Amino acid sequence: MAGIVSIFEEDGFSAERLFKQGYSYTYDDVIFLPHYIDFPTDAVKLATKLSRNVELSIPCVSSPMDTVTESSMATAMAAVGGIGIVHYNNTISQQTSFVRNVKSHKIPFSAELIFVAPSDSITSADEFATSPCIFVTETGTQKSKLLGVVSKSDWEAVRDKEARVSSYMTKSPVTLPSSYSFDDVAGYLAAKELNFVPLVSDDDDEIVNLVARSDIERIRGFPKMGLPSLGADGRFLVGAAVGTRESDKERLEHLVKAGINAVILDSSQGNSIYQLEMIKYVKQAYPNLDVIGGNVVTMSQAQNLIQAGVDGLRVGMGSGSICTTQEVCAVGRGQATAVYKVSSVAEKSGIPIIADGGISNSGHIVKALVLGASTVMMGSFLAGSSEAPGNYVNQGDVRVKKYRGMGSLEAMIKGSDQRYLGDTAKLKIAQGVVGAVADKGSIMKFIPYTMHAVKQGFQDLGASSIHSAHDLLRSGTLRLEVRTGAAQAEGGVHGLVSYEKKSF
Ligand SMILES: NC(=O)C1=CN([C@@H]2O[C@H](COP(=O)(O)OP(=O)(O)OC[C@H]3O[C@@H](n4cnc5c(N)ncnc54)[C@H](O)[C@@H]3O)[C@@H](O)[C@H]2O)C=CC1
Ligand SMILES: O=c1[nH]c(=O)c2[nH+]cn([C@@H]3O[C@H](COP(=O)(O)O)[C@@H](O)[C@H]3O)c2[nH]1
Ligand SMILES: [K+]
């Protein structure tokens, strides 16, 4: 191979040369030249690091946005081997309860837990829309003693819909410990011919999950993935975002108690005195917690945060699908260039980087990883999934979910305005939009398929791991080019009267 490489070394550009030319390139601008295949697709390993001490089996991270990551997303992301970062556009108690919820699960969930008090009545079938049953507890909240359960069929059989639930609930329902594995729970439901079973936490008997027979079939139907992301205590890994205000120190204290495995300091421009001070504070107060700084897009921004002690860096400014930062502030960078440049610095200090924003297909993930990232962070790619917060609505013929920027007016009004209205700033300027994305089903189905597509890309490049891709990048063995507009059009579907694009 060495001889062939030297004859053709002028074919294509090395990344070093290509990214030196003064252009801001994004993923679609560049294309990799194929190399040599000497292993099967399944031999490609995508195991990686989120940050210095957090290991994942796939390079996928869900973004800390209020239309992307709460408990359901973070649980499912960990179950498939990635990680979710819980957003902080909420109160401290809401954010920590999302984290605790992830920590108390062994099985990803789809049903909502609904609680009523014994004297309440259930007047509409709509109350069962998101769950096969409703729990009755002493005070009607999750944190109180379980008295009974009402299934949808129990309720349908009741004539007087105004009746108190205590008059017809099934008393003292069977529960299982939440430490039971998927197979244990599946075996129990089958043996007892039950339609669902609630799972209770080991320490305080609180109901934390509800597994229905349909969930068992659903989960069994998903493609097999590698190892889930588990901490040393056997619980799912989860991260959380916080800001850089004084009040975020209190938030962080609660998140650490709830068991987060990494914290992301969430700013659009991370190279600030506020973030540098926060990084130093976190490293001193919680030496065992990985702290991820950002966002950054330049080598010098990265160098500053590395010197302050970050364990990971988040890269991307204005590249997100809902971002308007480049339009509003004229600051940012094409995402391919940003990932390459920041990784060239971070790599020298052994700091993994997260390529954040602008991912809309598996090819973009290949590009981010091969250009130096260790993981990709996704918002719009995940926001249409069943695990994302919010309900689906119909927009014409399409089932959609809301997806919005954290710097959109709507999101700022909901909670992040403390960041904007604090101290001096009285005027709110949006740096993001509110939109909608199409229903994509469960991430537990489309992430495995996406990872398989990524492995095919790696195989074409002769890279059997993310580490070996980075070696090809740095040695100049990886060759790439910029695509003209016509080349980009040629690379997409073209010249057809109509077509259906079905990926798997
Ligand atoms: N990746 C991207 O391209 C972008 C992301 N976003 C997202 O929008 C959200 C908001 O981002 P930002 O506006 O950057 O939030 P931020 O909270 O970091 O900054 C908001 C404002 O508060 C100031 N600030 C922060 N800490 C301070 C302190 N301790 N004392 C005084 N002033 C302080 C900042 O300098 C800035 O002017 C985040 O979720 C972020 O990820 C927003 C724009 C671009
Ligand atoms: O300019 C911005 N204004 C916003 O309101 C905003 N909200 C999120 N983000 C960033 O976009 C990333 C998600 O991007 P994607 O949807 O392309 O995955 C996220 O991970 C963030 O980095 C924002 N950027
Ligand atoms: K954008």
CA distance 2 to 220: 46
Q: Check if 399 is active-site.
A: no
Q: Given the CA of residue 318, which atom of ligand 2 is nearest to it? A: 1
Domain encompassing residue 200: 115-221
> Residue 6: which pLDDT band, with cuts at 50, 70 and 90?
low
Distance CA 204, CA 227 (A): 28
Catalytic-residue membership of 323: yes
294 lines ligand 2 (CB under 6 A): no
Residues with CB under 6 A from ligand 1: 243-245, 266-268, 272, 274, 295, 316-318, 320, 323, 325, 357, 406-407, 416, 419-420, 423, 431
User: Within 13 Å and on the Cβ side, how many CA atoms surround 80?
Assistant: 30
Q: Is 358 annotated as a binding residue?
A: yes
Is 133 annotated in a binding site? The answer is no
Same-domain status, 328 and 433: yes
267 Cβ closer than 6 Å to some ligand 2 atom: no
Model confidence at 420, pLDDT cuts 50, 70, 90, reads: very low
Whether residue 358 is found in the same domain as residue 463: yes
In the set 419, 474, 479, 483, the catalytic residue is 419
CA distance 313 to 275: 12
- Whether the predicted interface score ipTM is above 0.85: yes
* Residue 192 and residue 316 in one domain: no
Yes or no: say if 479 and 30 are a contact pair by the CB < 8 Å rule: no
> How far, CA to CA in Å, does 236 sit from each of 85, 145, 179, 224, 228?
12, 26, 12, 18, 8
Do 314 and 423 sit in the same domain of this protein?
Answer: yes
Cα(230) to ligand 2 centroid in Å equals 27
Residue type, 16: E
Catalytic residue chosen out of the listed positions 60, 100, 314, 323: 323
Instruction: Find the CATH number of the domain harbouring 401.
Output: 3.20.20.70
Return d(Cα 354, Cα 328) in angstroms, integer: 24
DSSP 8-class letter at 173:
-
d(CA 492, CA 287): 48
Q: Identify whether residues 159 and 37 lie together within a single domain.
A: no
Give Cβ neighbours of residue 253 (< 8 Å, ≥ 6 apart).
none
Per-residue pLDDT tens digits for 314-339: 999 999 999 999 999 999 999 999 99
* pLDDT at res. 214: 86
For residue 10, being part of any structural domain is answered with no
The band of 179, judged by pLDDT with boundaries at 50, 70 and 90, is confident
What mean pLDDT is reported for the chain? Answer: 93
Number of structural domains (the chain) is 2
Atom 6 of ligand 1, residue of closest alpha carbon: 268
pTM, 2 dp: 0.94
Q: Which of the residue ranges 78-92, 160-174, 241-255 would you say has the lowest mean pLDDT?
A: 160-174
| CATH value at residue 176 | 3.10.580.10
99 and 140 part of one domain = no
CA dihedral 124, 125, 130, 136 (to 10 degrees): 70
Is residue 190 within a helix (H) or strand (E), and if so which, with residue range? helix 182-192
Which structure tokens are listed for 273?
């005195």
CB of 377 within 6 A of ligand 2: the answer is yes
> Which atom belonging to ligand 1 lies closest to the Cα atom of 272?
35
84 assigned to a ligand binding site: no
